[in-house]
């Protein structure tokens, strides 16, 4: 996970991505809190990161933002070398994910579930994590977050296992402060 949301410049983000690839990463993605800050603009970031990663490593920039320009951001990111795309599916909306999938841009989509805890943590009135994973997969995600067995955002282990199963045939991704 690239953390330019901490204030890293474009070159620092590219250096970090290259180091992750040297360390064996096969998927490098932007932080879910990152969009298009002045100190690390999306276009410059995608160009720089794509320029340092080998073809064996996917890069998923965060294209979350105004829905009326979502497809333009996605198309531009792919044009600049993004080999995957990341969307914050809960705040952006499941239909935005479906729209992105329908655009057939030729790259996998990583659907981040940031904000889903607001739904999932209240067991008596919330939405089960398996439902969030299922909706994410059905709307077109290739990478579906399934929660975490450990870390600061650990989920109930049975919920994580159910979300992993629900994500299939997409790739379930463990996350949450691991």
Of 29, 58, 112, 113, which one is the catalytic site residue?
112
Closest alpha carbon to 21 in 50, 63, 43: 50
52 is catalytic: no
DSSP-assigned beta bridge partners for residue 87: 111
Of 1, 3, 33, 37, which one is the catalytic site residue?
3
In angstroms, rounded to a whole number, what is the distance separating the alpha carbons of residues 108 and 71? Answer: 14
Q: CA-based angle 146:117:134, to the nearest 5? A: 40
112 is catalytic: yes
Torsion sign over Cα 110, 111, 114, 117: negative
In angstroms, rounded to a whole number, what is the distance separating the alpha carbons of residues 152 and 166? Answer: 23
In angstroms, rounded to a whole number, what is the distance separating the alpha carbons of residues 63 and 15? Answer: 21
Which amino acids are annotated catalytic? 3, 112
């Amino acid at each position: 996970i690239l953390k330019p949301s901490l204030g890293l410049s474009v070159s620092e983000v590219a250096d970090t991505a290259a180091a992750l690839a040297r360390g064996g990463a096969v998927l490098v993605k932007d932080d879910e809190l990152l969009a298009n800050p002045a100190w690390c603009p999306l276009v410059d970031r995608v160009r720089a990161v794509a320029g340092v990663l080998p073809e064996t490593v996917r890069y998923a920039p965060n294209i979350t933002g105004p829905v009326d320009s979502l497809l333009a951001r996605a198309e531009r990111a792919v044009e600049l070398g993004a080999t995957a795309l990341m969307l914050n599916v809960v705040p952006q909306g499941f239909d935005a994910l479906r729209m992105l999938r329908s655009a057939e841009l030729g790259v996998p989509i990583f659907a981040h579930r940031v904000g889903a805890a607001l739904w999932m943590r209240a067991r008596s009135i919330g939405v089960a994590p398996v439902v969030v994973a299922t909706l994410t997969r059905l709307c077109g995600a290739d990478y579906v977050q399934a929660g975490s067995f450990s870390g600061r955002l650990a989920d109930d282990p049975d919920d994580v296992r159910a979300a992993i199963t629900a994500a299939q045939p997409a790739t379930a991704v463990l996350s949450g402060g691991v």
